[in-house]
Amino acid sequence: MKQRVSLIIPAYNEERYLKRCLDSVALQAEPLFEVLVVNNNSTDKTAEIARRYGFVELLQEPRQGRSYAQRAGFDADRKSTRLNSSHITIS
């Protein structure tokens, strides 16, 4: 049986990196079951960028902090193996 994998991306003011991150996700050979971007009160274009990707489910978490954003992603996850990006790192 194929494993269902969800990617949870907590995001606060990540407009500088989010497009590259999601472009990379789109190029994966094996598509993920779901990609959840949790906007954590960003004041930049993070949510706007996430909305451009049809495979992304955009969640809003009003309580500030990475742990709240992660929890919101875990709560929304549809029972799959979780990949949690606690922050976006692109080298």
End-to-end CA distance of the chain: 34
Which letter does DSSP use for residue 4 in this model? P
pLDDT tens for the chain, residues 1 to 91: 567 778 899 999 999 999 999 999 999 888 788 899 999 999 999 999 999 999 999 999 999 999 999 889 888 876 656 555 554 444 3
Query: Model-level pTM?
Result: 0.83
Alpha-carbon 10 to chain mean position: 6
